[in-house]
A and B are shown apart, each in its own frame.
Chain A
Amino acid sequence: MSKNKFPVFIAVLAAACLFSLAAGPAGCSNLDIILNLRLPRTLAALAVGAGLGLAGALFQGVLKNPLSDPYILGTSSGATAAAVFCFLAGIERTSPVFFLSVFAGAFGATFLSYWLARLAGRLSDAALVLAGVAVSAFLSALVMLVLTSSGARSFSLFYFVLGGLYSVQPGVLAVSSLIIAAAGAVAMGRWRALDAMALGSENAYHLGIEPERERILFFTLACAATSAAVAIGGTIGFVGLMTPHIVRRLTGPSARGLVPAAALGGAAMLAAADAAGRSLFSPAEIPAGIVMALAGAPFFMWLLWKSSRGRN
């Protein structure tokens, strides 16, 4: 990230945090509520947003596809499906088995989408989006089937599938934050490889990068970040799609600035979205997943429209 842009991201992030800490029916004077309630929730929103923003930037970079993000590619659905199966199997949300399963779900679904899209030969934007939609739709249907036939606990699981930060377990938040931070650090250390891959596999190869190996590495990092985010807040879409596009206008295309900026931007975006969701319709709250879909779906349409115009 060029040095003069860095303060912009910090300022936006700080503004989002302030909004998240200040918004709520209790106003700004109740320190107990700010510290014990809004602070943990803000931290959760920051972690989830950073994880999804990071994953979005990595997917878009590796796949050279502006429409990819963990939600579109089926990564989130894979993680959510695995999480729901873990809940029903009675696996604790803080156990390593839970995190491993959620990661496996994310990775499996992403690779399935990627493999399906590659079947057509050259990897096209449309094929990847279609494959992702097919995989997501199938997994979501599977989750709904399991939930509608599973009885008593299903309502809170429906809520998890919707995506939101109503109840965050400190243990889950801590482990997930570590995973996201580690994935971010490794990805930032390899920004050159990501930039080289943006030039195409052959060029990357000539620059001393092994595209296949790097692709798997970045997929792994993106899936780890996504699954950690899903473990906290369920399926929250569009953060990973929108943030790289927005921050790219400030950082330029190089992964060196783009990857950290996408993580910061995603964190700021979700903190603001969650704060809006829990304060606009008080005393009711709107899950952050719904707020993001309201903002993100039109953005996706705009991207599709833009990319179709670019081709003609």
Chain B
Amino acid sequence: MLVPFLLTAAAPLPVQARRVVSLMPSYTEIIFELGAGKDLVGVSNFCNWPPAAAKIDKAGDYLRPNIEKIYSLKPDVVFAGAWADASSSKQLESMGVKVVSLPEEKNAADIFATVRLIAAELGRKREGEKLAGKLAGMMPAKLPDKPLKVYLEADTGGWTPGGNSFLSDAVRLAGGKNIFGGEKRGYFQASWEEVLLLDPEAVILLSGTEEEFLSRPMAKGLAAAKAGRIITGLDRDAFSRPGPRLFGEIKKLAAFLNVKK
């Protein structure tokens, strides 16, 4: 069982005619940006961008990869998140499939690292550098001295990112400050009372409506509501994936936050 694994792990990938499986929407978007979209033979069930990705064979998702499907696609390399089921990647490796587990991105710098890792794996180092540079160039050059306090609700019902997340970093790069940035946990349900106490100056809703938000107890008294800074105009998929489109959304968010009232 070990011999084929060692052989595949040691063999350099051929530059041409590569067969690639991506188990994360953000990896798929990065691979397309690197110009390697045509090498993708399998993507995750959630991969819907760019539109061409939706037409590629689905191979399960990062939590539950469809091992048989992936094997049948005969990939040269599978990109999986580090938090993907370790037994699945072992299983794939024992079947002779190369799995690259990329670490979870906790900030913008990690996203650039992922871009470079994928690019190197695909023999497109130069394209990787170019893409990372382009994305870094899209970030607002100067951060405000007094960033606005931002409450980011990713899912209705108080689900919000803590400080240890790329979402929190995205808010910072857009000129805001996540009110739960001091929390070590990644994603949690914040108590509404705590949100009221922290009194955010801007609210970002990635799901749900402004109307529902303002109907919550005392929501209309929040500084964000008074200033009219309830932001619902971000693209949910683009903002919540650590991929290339996040940087366009950061720019958009920076514009929302900078509106003087």
Contacts and interface: CB of A to CB of B under 8 A. Distances in A.
Interface of A: 24-26, 32-33, 36-38, 40, 152-153, 155-156, 159, 166-167, 169, 278-279, 282-285, 287
Contact of A166 (B180, B192, B208, B218): B192
Nearest to A287: B189
Contact of A37 (B155, B183, B192, B207): B192
Contacts of A26: 193, 196-197
A287 B190 CA distance: 11
A242 B236 CA distance: 42
21 contacts: A25-B193, A25-B194, A26-B193, A32-B221, A33-B196, A37-B218, A153-B207, A155-B156, A156-B207, A156-B208, A159-B155, A166-B158, A167-B157, A278-B193, A279-B191, A283-B190, A284-B185, A284-B188, A284-B189, A284-B191, A285-B189
Given A156-B157, A285-B189, 14 more contacts: A37-B192, A37-B193, A37-B217, A38-B193, A152-B236, A155-B157, A166-B157, A167-B156, A278-B191, A282-B191, A282-B194, A283-B183, A285-B158, A285-B190
Question: Closest 3 interchain pairs by CB?
Answer: A283-B194, A155-B155, A156-B156
Given A25-B191, A285-B191, A33 B156 contact: no
Given A155-B207, A283-B183, A32 B218 contact: yes
Contacts of A36: 217-218
Nearest to B216: A167
A280 to B, nearest CB: 10
Contacts of B218: 32-33, 36-37
Nearest to B46: A151
Given A25-B197, A153-B207, A283 B217 contact: no
Contacts of A283: 180, 183, 190-191, 194
B63 to A, nearest CB: 11
A37 B217 CA distance: 6
Contacts of A25: 191, 193-194, 197
Using C-beta atoms within 8 Å of the partner chain, give the interface range for chain B: 20 to 34
Contacts of B71: none
Contact of A159 (B157, B188, B193): B157
B159 interface: yes
Interface in B187-240: 188-194, 196-197, 207-208, 215-218, 221, 236
User: Which of B156, B189, B197, B208 has most A Cβ within 10 Å?
Assistant: B189
Contact of A155 (B159, B185, B188): B159
Given A156-B155, A156-B208, A159-B157, A284 B217 contact: no
B110 to A, nearest CB: 24
A105 B251 CA distance: 47
A51 to B, nearest CB: 22
Contacts of B196: 26, 33, 37
A285 B207 CA distance: 19
A204 B191 CA distance: 50
Contacts of B208: 156
Contacts of B188: 284
A41 B197 CA distance: 17
User: Which of B183, B191, B192, B194 has most A Cβ within 10 Å?
Assistant: B191
A33 B193 contact: yes
A227 to B, nearest CB: 21
B143 to A, nearest CB: 25
A153 B212 CA distance: 14
Contacts of A159: 155-157, 159, 189
Contacts of B156: 155-156, 159, 167
A257 to B, nearest CB: 36
